[in-house]
A and B are shown apart, each in its own frame.
Chain A
């Protein structure tokens, strides 16, 4: 004989269905990260004219960075120059960039070495990025994104970070 199903068993299932309605409002992680990168660009000042004064070059070490979401930066403005996005950049070409985004699988140390002492900001969403000498790290905190700043590294590149950015960072690495 079959036992009837006790109605209580269904309660967890119903809760599951209820919660998903709320979470459907969540934003796409990659798009949020791309927006963070755009904001960082706004809050960092580059000194004087750089190698290509007519464009602001954002580089990514991989193609399809952030599942293609980084392309929203293309054509936006930094001050009065347009942002140009270059993806899949490596080697010497990295030195032409203003910003280098290092995504998951790239060799962090190699890229950092390449851009050392240049007026270039490095950003990554790899864990412990700033401890390895990177400039700005995006970190996932539960289901929110926050960021860390390596002030030493950015200052060493001769760049200036606005106070507002420092105020919102979750962690600042600074020897001062």
Chain B
């Protein structure tokens, strides 16, 4: 599982931009042969020293992004893209990747999904930061509001669309998002930044220092305060956010073969929200404005040993996540150990195998509305994986592997995958894959009891019917959701300036999670149980193109289409509506266009345009973000950012358990100084 932190793991044979060499965090990618398809090798060795000294140079990546040679739909968000996006949080950054749907539910909540199945409780994505899983074992989704770091210290973000179960493990059903921060060696010196705006203020400081001969360290502090979004035109939504975080990272390479990393962060957040809840004796729903308190901390260590022909890697971490709301107090501790070995047993074979063990202990103190039984549970998860990448000839690579994972709820789960990539020349590549992925039931699916009231039924002038109180009961026999995925992709470097990447997919889902009514009062179901009664197919494509229009102007665009047809395996009354929600939970169409324009050596102007198709209950919207930046001298940058410039406010996503709000038009100014 070590390499789960790096989508650039061996089998993916990823070529990434320019200097995006993975060192620690990326681990294995170094050993991966990459193919740079930018142009034929430029041989300048006939030039004399005098001529070379006079030559004006530019870096390759400014011209053309190398075609990546992964047999998967992968996209890399570079540090330069991060800086120029103007985004101030991790989920906002993910908008940059093709095929990723990011929606603001309120000022402190997001939905992030890939290829359908979105929503706050979207639970088909594996999200990692420096090798640590960010998704909550409670519901297998990510509390994005509790994930942060100094964005300038991110090396890059890799986004895989599609299943990545073989190496990456459970929950990597629809995709993997891998956030990799820089080696401490690359963040030496100080960095200070401050931001002031209509919607958000924040600031932070990082300092990096060399410790001894071969060790480097950095430490940081950051703070962010976000104002309320809008509930209506002149009504604030009471969903502000305040958070602070501190952390450190040490990287050391005592000799040429060994290296290790130690890193830790501590986070505190206070978010306002309006919870949709129920109370005993009160008919219908009650709205409860409250402050949610979040405390997270973790510590991670990793050691890597290289030898001629192979590499060992060991990683361990501890993570504590607390979230306190009126209805539920959560405290979740995760202990995780992983080991991995990569070597070449025979000519043309590259084998990678490993295993991992994870212990999750939790304490979930509920309320009338939501409760867990038992309130405390310890869960173990262990896995083994093996994968072989076979090079038939330099143009044809085949990867086969499987993960074997054991969990306490459903036992052993096997997730095999086979991938092939054919690169007849350095301008084209064609790849395909077949994989099986599972989504293991979360603690909530198994042990949660939730009381809720369905929305009132309107009878027009005659009034409304308030529906009775319903309960979703736990289901100890809940099963995994399973999926078989077929993918086919093609990439081409049309010219030195233009390339495109097409990925198509067809997923066959079985045992999708549903809520199955087991007791009725009249026509109204009052008791539901989680079940695996859904099945369906999902298909679509993503087309992304990149055009270096001139030395100073780069345009990138993408269009993604995704359709989901789900049905019930057994036709039970009252269950259909839930499946309908499923089908509409992700946008069918997503379009984005990014322009990066370097006006002069120290002025840049960047624009991002998005069109997101309607969701079930959210209208389609267009979003325009702009950023203007000035670097008066190296290390100093002033920028002005405008977000959501098209309209005074719009909704982006809904949630079932808190009130959603509308994203306002906003502006901020930022200064960033490194020394």
Contacts and interface: CB of A to CB of B under 8 A. Distances in A.
How would you classify the secondary structure of chain A's contact residues: helix, strand, loop or mixed?
helix
A63 B30 contact: yes
Contact of B56 (A13, A26, A63): A26
A155 interface: no
Contact of A91 (B59, B186, B257): B257
A45 interface: no
B19 A104 contact: yes
Interface string B153-194: 000000000000000000000000000000101100000000
B214 A110 contact: yes
A80 interface: no
A145 B53 contact: yes
A84 interface: no
Interface string B33-57: 1101010011111011110111111
Interface stretch (A1-9, A16-24, A49-57, A116-124): A16-24
Contacts of B60: 28-30, 67
Contacts of A110: 214, 253-256
Contacts of B257: 90-91
Contacts of A62: 21, 30
A34 B44 contact: yes
B253 A35 contact: no
Interface in B271-317: 306-308
A164 B49 CA distance: 9
A32 B46 CA distance: 11
B657 interface: no
Interface string A37-66: 011000100000000000000000111100
Interface centre among B21, B306, B598 (most CB of A within 10 A): B21
Interface centre among B33, B41, B185, B213 (most CB of A within 10 A): B41
A27 B49 contact: no
Nearest to B600: A16
A61 B259 CA distance: 15
A16 B552 contact: yes
A158 interface: no
Interface centre among B19, B56, B63 (most CB of A within 10 A): B56
Nearest to B59: A29
Interface centre among A30, A61, A76, A109 (most CB of B within 10 A): A30
Contacts of A38: 45
Contact of B256 (A13, A28, A94): A94
A100 B42 CA distance: 21
B56 A23 contact: yes
Nearest to A114: B256
Interface string A132-155: 000000001001111000000000
Contacts of A20: 550-553
A71 interface: yes
Contacts of B66: 67
A109 B214 contact: yes
A72 interface: yes
Interface in A90-128: 90-91, 93-94, 103-107, 109-111, 113-114
Contacts of A172: none
B45 A168 contact: no
Given A27-B57, A68-B41, A107-B214, A91 B307 contact: yes
A109 B210 CA distance: 13
A13 B550 CA distance: 13
B466 interface: no
A159 interface: no
Interface in B3-50: 18-19, 21, 23, 30-34, 36, 38, 41-45, 47-50
B599 interface: yes
A72 B33 CA distance: 17
A129 B200 CA distance: 42
B599 A69 contact: no
Nearest to B42: A31
B23 A39 contact: no
Interface of B: 18-19, 21, 23, 30-34, 36, 38, 41-45, 47-50, 52-60, 63, 66, 183, 185-186, 213-214, 253-257, 259, 306-308, 550-553, 597-600
Given A28-B63, A145-B57, 10 more contacts: A20-B552, A23-B58, A32-B44, A39-B52, A63-B33, A72-B42, A72-B45, A107-B214, A110-B214, A110-B256
11 contacts: A16-B600, A20-B553, A28-B42, A29-B60, A32-B57, A34-B45, A35-B47, A64-B34, A73-B45, A76-B45, A91-B307
Name the 4 nearest CB pairs between A and B, nearest first: A107-B253, A35-B44, A31-B42, A29-B57
